[in-house]
Amino acid sequence: MALLNGPSVPINGERLLQRITELAEIGKIEGTNGCSRLAFSDADREGRDLVVTWMRDLGLTVTIDAVGNVIASTHVEGASGAVMAGSHIDTVGTGGRYDGNLGVLAGLEVIEAAIAMGVELKRPLAIAFFSNEEGSRYPPDMMGSLAYAGGMSVEAVLEVEGKDGTVVGEELERIGYRGTAPCPGVVPHAFVELHIEQGPVLDNEDIQIGIVEGVQGISWTELVLVGQSNHAGTTPMSLRKDPMRVAAEVVTAVRSIATEMGGTQVATVGSLHLHPNLVNVVPASATMTVDLRNTDEALLQQAEEELHNCVAVFAKDEGLKVETRSLARFEPVEFDSRVVEQIEELAQQTGLSTKRMPSGAGHDAQMMARICPTGMIFVPSLDGISHNPAEHTDERDLIAGTQLLSDTMLALTEVDW
């Protein structure tokens, strides 16, 4: 594809930073810069309402689909197939203010600057925030964009039950975001997501822009280890069926799988709940989650197999029953080289330092890549910290990333695939 320069429209950095600050006040974690807006919570609704108000104030056409995805777009007479930016505004429980929010507010800024300049484009521009990207209250992650791309039915989304016993469909209804727009959604001409890296690479190497080539595969498994609740004082060790013992062995094994495989393999036990969780009771059950990721599908399957084999051995030795449930499973994704090159070319023309890299984190872009040419832009995360209220990205990087998103989106309005 001939690399193109679209019209260049300067974004308003102050307005962008102001909106990031304002949105971060919703669900603010006191004493930190972080926020907590779990999917479909009251805080999520408040954040949604604020961003939708900004979208409507711009005169954009705003649609809400059956799983709560919100798409706002401009109109170009006789043209279809918008160039879309997007990300998410839900956060993990101990989230930062940039994860997801930057991509949504940057896309909004790109559109506002283009409207203010009165620039004539061949294609509409759109900005989306997708429901429940984090997946930490209702698995899987990237739930909204997965449904938008046709990877999960609306019915299946609406019946997902959360860890807190609530159900997606009812929560969507309650917060007023169970929309009527069709899902799967309208296929855009192209999709670009600006996101913080959430890892240490760009910061360590003092590079301004990550040119994201793809997203690694993700495997989330829930294990329920069922033993026998018993008295901590009277039960001989030889007679115990102790799920906590096996959970501890699984945690150690998960770490060894990643360290022994090396490469891009990572493994995390992020949650562990004991029942009844009392000091003088041998637990009845342990419920834990295992997050495995790798850029290579075959190696990810190997890690999964090793996990399941060791759980079976440990559980048998302790006489436990094991219930296994897959919470999310996505293969690695490669982005469209034409979009990747377009981003890289524009970044380098602007004099920004760049590095090609995979994404360790999951993103809505990995779902949109199923339906249209897609790419991602990373900006550095200070010390690689994310999913943590201390998450930080320098203002200059936020603004440079947003300007690059603008240049990329406008260039892609000129391209015919």
Please give the residue ranges that form the binding site for ligand HGY (CB under 6 A): 133-135, 141, 361-362
Interatomic CA distance for residues 290 and 234, integer angstroms: 33
Task: State the minimum distance, in angstroms, from the CB of residue 145 to ligand HGY.
Answer: 10
What is residue 49's DSSP assignment? Answer: H
β-strand 285-294 against 266-275: which pairing, if any?
A: antiparallel
Interatomic CA distance for residues 187 and 164, integer angstroms: 34
Distances (CA, A) of 157 to 38, 59, 67, 178: 16, 30, 7, 11
Q: Does residue number 345 form part of the binding site for Mn ion (CB under 5 A)?
A: no
Task: State the minimum distance, in angstroms, from the CB of residue 122 to Mn ion.
Answer: 30
Nearer to Mn ion, 36 or 285 (CB): 36
What is residue 11's DSSP assignment? Answer: -
Nearer to Mn ion, 285 or 381 (CB): 381
Tokens (6 digits) for 47? 């954040």
Instruction: Select the span of 93-101, 228-236, 281-289, 329-337 touching Mn ion (CB under 5 A).
Output: 93-101
Q: Does residue number 210 form part of the binding site for Mn ion (CB under 5 A)?
A: no
Residue 100 interface partner, choices Mn ion, ligand HGY, none, CB cut-off 5-8 Å depending on type = Mn ion
Confirm if 105 and 20 have CB atoms less than 8 A apart. yes
Confirm if 328 and 135 have CB atoms less than 8 A apart. yes
Q: For Mn ion, which residue of 65, 90, 99, 345 counts as binding (CB under 5 A)? A: 99
Nearer to ligand HGY, 81 or 389 (CB): 389
Residue 389 interface partner, choices ligand HGY, Mn ion, none, CB cut-off 5-8 Å depending on type = none
Task: State the minimum distance, in angstroms, from the CB of residue 270 to Mn ion.
Answer: 12
**Burial state string for 187-206 with b = 16 or more CB within 10 A and e = fewer than 16:** bbbbbbbbbbbbbebbbeee
Residue 135 interface partner, choices ligand HGY, Mn ion, none, CB cut-off 5-8 Å depending on type = ligand HGY
Nearer to ligand HGY, 32 or 388 (CB): 388
Residue 362 interface partner, choices Mn ion, ligand HGY, none, CB cut-off 5-8 Å depending on type = ligand HGY
Q: Does residue number 100 form part of the binding site for Mn ion (CB under 5 A)?
A: yes
Nearer to ligand HGY, 134 or 344 (CB): 134
Residue 141 interface partner, choices ligand HGY, Mn ion, none, CB cut-off 5-8 Å depending on type = ligand HGY
Spell out the residues 6+ positions from residue 172 whose beta carbon is closer than 8 angstroms to its own.
Answer: 40, 67, 68, 131, 158, 178
CA dihedral sign, ordered 36, 42, 48, 52? negative
Q: Mind spelling out the 3-state secondary structure of 218-276?
A: EEEEEEEEECCCEECCCCCHHHCCCHHHHHHHHHHHHHHHHHHHCCCCEEEEEEEEEEC
Nearer to ligand HGY, 89 or 114 (CB): 89
Task: State the minimum distance, in angstroms, from the CB of residue 245 to ligand HGY.
Answer: 29
Task: State the minimum distance, in angstroms, from the CB of residue 379 to ligand HGY.
Answer: 16
Nearer to ligand HGY, 207 or 361 (CB): 361
Confirm if 193 and 384 have CB atoms less than 8 A apart. no
Task: State the minimum distance, in angstroms, from the CB of residue 196 to Mn ion.
Answer: 8
